[in-house]
Amino acid sequence: MSATAVFGSTGLVGSQILSTLLSTPKNTTTIQTISRRAPSSSGAKLQATIEPDTSLWASKLAALSPAPSTVFSALGTTRQAAGGIANQWKIDHDLNVELAKAAKRQVGTRTFVFISSAGSSGVIANRLPYTQMKQGVEKAIEDLGFEQSIILRPGLILGDREVPHQGGPLLIGVVRALGRWIGQGAQDRWGQEADVIARAAVHAARIAEEGKAPAKHWVLECADIVRLGRNEPTIIGPATGPEPPYPYRMEGKVISGFGRGSKELGIPTANLPVDESVSWISDIPSGVYFGWASLALPSSHPDFLGHQFELYPMVMSIGYNPFYKNTVRSAEVHVLQKFKADFYGCQMRLLITGFIREEKDYNGLEALIADIEFDCEVARRSLQRVGWAPNEKVEGGKLDYGWLLRRLDEEEEQEGEKKA
């Protein structure tokens, strides 16, 4: 991530955003903060500006060097701390809007990330002063037309504040009790830990910087925040390589699927037939898998490299895809390589080395796309290890991949020998 600025860096969520940025290896440049007092985090990349007068923050933002391409705002206070609703409005609404305008018009910020609140839309929310403030900021950010705007709408923010909100500790205790008694999902529905919200904000900004955000104005609700922010495994399996029953083999000619991978998701998929010839497939759970694909492109294909089969990392879905309510089980493969043309009818082989997660339903297309992007990252990281990679792709790779590259005429000869 390039130069970044954080507002609200001394608050519960803002301080977590700052510490997450400072500890993220991919963050290779400057992290700037503007606050009334010094943030608790420190680091070589941090440039902290202390300015007690918030009316000067917009001009301080405009003067930052290097100019931040991403700005995070976790600014917020309470009516009690501010001394009334009018003073709270000046911070939660007016200051946030002023900073967003300065970021867009004076700094040229590409991505603006705002920590809003769950319930900031709907009939009831329209009548509540607190949510009216959040709505106003969200609309102002969208109207400014940033190259990318990201809104996070967490539920009750769980964590220890320097000055507890009135009734906050009791509510936090109730929500955490739901997690202990009923399950983590119950807690996630009503509240999220501050560090989870922070990681989700940083993760979303990184996705946006890579050009993979699902929408120009991206809104993350509670479930999205949990998915992006919780520490999920980003590497599957032991370093030594796949464990039984993996790897599985599958092959066939690429067939046309549902026609939505590229059109709706921007993630092209290749479909393979699921039939009785694939004996193991009925015994495995529906979900997302990963491994290696080999593809026999014709010499006329723009991506043909001179060999009958070429190797590529892949991630695939086996199942019914609940989001689209499929009634037929399918195998949809996303090859982690950009192609200049489709390859319907080409022979594809799959060496499936591991399982990422079970399939699930989603509230919207954005959540589905975000999970697919996460699955792709898990596959890439997992397959970079020598125990999981062919030596053709990773130096010292130990994965047995001979079958993937075996010529079709060799297979035919072997089949003939078996029949004889």
Number of domains the chain contains: 2
Quick one: 224 and 130 in the same domain?
yes
Distance CA 184, CA 191 (A): 10
- The beta-carbon contacts of 38-42 under 8 Å, at least 24 apart in sequence, are 38/10, 39/9, 39/10, 39/15, 40/10, 40/15, 41/9, 41/15
Please report the pLDDT score of residue 125 as a whole number: 56
- Domain termination site, one of 229, 259, 288: 229
- Domain termination site, one of 229, 259, 292: 229
Quick one: 174 and 66 in the same domain?
yes
For residues 351 and 249, the answer to whether their CB atoms sit within 8 Å is yes
Quick one: 191 and 256 in the same domain?
no
Quick one: 224 and 290 in the same domain?
no
- Is 235 part of a structural domain of the chain? no
Quick one: 64 and 166 in the same domain?
yes
**Annotated catalytic sites, by residue?**
332
Taking CA atoms, 86 is separated from 56, 130, 133, in Å, by 20, 11, 11
Please report the pLDDT score of residue 259 as a whole number: 57
- Is 169 part of a structural domain of the chain? yes
Q: Are strands 270-272 and 31-35 parallel, antiparallel or unpaired?
A: unpaired
Task: Kindly state the tokens that stand for 76.
Answer: 């917020």
- Domain termination site, one of 196, 229, 262: 229
Distance CA 70, CA 56 (A): 20
| CA atoms within 13 A of residue 318's CA, in its CB half-sphere | 23
Quick one: 48 and 97 in the same domain?
yes
| CA atoms within 13 A of residue 12's CA, in its CB half-sphere | 21
- Is 418 part of a structural domain of the chain? no
- Is 391 part of a structural domain of the chain? yes
Distance CA 249, CA 335 (A): 16
Distance CA 316, CA 300 (A): 26
Quick one: 206 and 296 in the same domain?
no
Give backbone dihedrals phi and psi of 338, rounded to 5 degrees, phi first: -85, 130
- Is 77 part of a structural domain of the chain? yes
**Residue span of the structural domain in which 115 resides:** 4-229
Quick one: 69 and 160 in the same domain?
yes
Quick one: 209 and 291 in the same domain?
no
- Is 58 part of a structural domain of the chain? yes
Please report the pLDDT score of residue 233 as a whole number: 58
Please report the pLDDT score of residue 124 as a whole number: 52
Distance CA 202, CA 344 (A): 38
- Across the chain, which has 420 residues, the per-10-residue mean pLDDT values are 90 91 68 95 90 96 96 90 89 96 97 88 64 93 97 89 72 78 77 90 91 91 88 77 93 76 66 79 88 93 88 92 76 91 91 89 71 86 93 89 84 53
| CA atoms within 13 A of residue 11's CA, in its CB half-sphere | 23
| CA atoms within 13 A of residue 265's CA, in its CB half-sphere | 19
Quick one: 9 and 80 in the same domain?
yes
- In CATH, what number is assigned to the domain containing residue 74? 3.40.50.720
For residues 196 and 162, the answer to whether their CB atoms sit within 8 Å is no
E-assigned strand segments in 160-286: 191-193, 217-220, 248-253, 270-272
- Is 419 part of a structural domain of the chain? no
Quick one: 307 and 349 in the same domain?
yes
Taking CA atoms, 52 is separated from 164, 293, 311, in Å, by 22, 58, 58
Distance CA 346, CA 299 (A): 11
Distance CA 127, CA 316 (A): 46
- In CATH, what number is assigned to the domain containing residue 311? 2.40.30.30
Q: Model-level pTM greater than 0.75?
A: no
- Is 392 part of a structural domain of the chain? yes
Quick one: 56 and 102 in the same domain?
yes
